Amino acid sequence: MLASFVGHAETPEEKGLAIAIEADKRDTGFIDQQADLVMILKNRHGDVSKRSIRTKTLEVKGDGDKGLTIFDSPRDVKGTAFLSHTHALTPDDQWLFLPALKRVKRIASANKSGPFMGSEFAYEDLTSQEVEKYTYKYLRDEKIDGRDTFVIERYPAYKHSGYTRQIAWVDKKMYQPLKLEYYDRKNSLLKTTTFKNYKQYIGRYWRAAEVFTMNHQTHKSTKLIWSNYRFKTGLTPRDFDRNSLKRAR
């Protein structure tokens, strides 16, 4: 359960931060993770396009995670790989591998709000969510889909975010989000993400099998279907450097 400060009532800001810290603590220690991802994009006319992606993640003590994302489809971008060394408040280090030219290109990463592969997910939505990236405020308790949640508002602390704030419905049992609302730079509701079919791995880590984002302004949506989660597979920093990026398959 939550720690309470003895002697004075917790402010909403303190409670929000405490929930974020607890959620982070419960999700730490998986060392490394691999998963397969199918991304389904749909526009307002109902046109569908698909991407197949494999992801690898490495926890880094005292810093953001390292991530490697490899594209299997569409076939013309097969072999394109994206390496990121994320940091909480300073810009991430990011490299792109372009298979046609066999070129590793370091790219500017100040743009976290840009769409990832044409989808409704921004880079900042998909990179590791460190506690220091936001300030928090607890709003209320709420029940959604029969589950008890904390409703927390969070404000990006890093520069170049595309959002003024987000509202997260955090499941009280799993300490994982069931729903996230994103508010753009004009503070209008931009998109809503829902997380479904959570499953617990190695007795501890909760991962959603399906994540769906609807952009209310463009009426475009992206569905992420995650599968084949594997943890503690023996990845090392050597699997997340420019040499491994060049031979990523």
Residues contributing to the site for another protein (CB under 8 A): 34, 41, 43, 47, 49-50, 54, 72-79, 91, 93, 101-111, 113-115, 118, 162, 233, 236, 238, 241-244, 247-249
| Minimum distance of another protein from residue 119's CB (angstroms) | 8
| Residue 142 identity (one-letter amino acid) | E
| Minimum distance of another protein from residue 81's CB (angstroms) | 11
Nearer to another protein, 11 or 236 (CB): 236
Nearer to another protein, 49 or 135 (CB): 49
Instruction: Tell me how far the alpha carbon of residue 196 is from its chain's centroid.
Output: 15
Question: Buried (b) or exposed (e) across 118-146, using 16+ Cβ within 10 A?
Answer: ebbbbbbbbbbbbbebbebbbbeeeeeee
| Minimum distance of another protein from residue 204's CB (angstroms) | 22
| Minimum distance of another protein from residue 60's CB (angstroms) | 15
- Cβ of 192: how many Cβ atoms within 10 Å? 16
| Minimum distance of another protein from residue 211's CB (angstroms) | 18
Reduced to 3 states (helix: H, G, I; strand: E, B; else coil), residue 95 is: strand
Return the residue matching tokens 């190695």: 202
Reduced to 3 states (helix: H, G, I; strand: E, B; else coil), residue 243 is: helix
Nearer to another protein, 16 or 162 (CB): 162
Nearer to another protein, 98 or 202 (CB): 98
Q: Fill in the DSSP letter of residue 92.
A: P
Q: Which two tokens stand for residue 113?
A: 């709000």
Nearer to another protein, 147 or 164 (CB): 164
Angle CA 91–131–56, to nearest 5 = 65
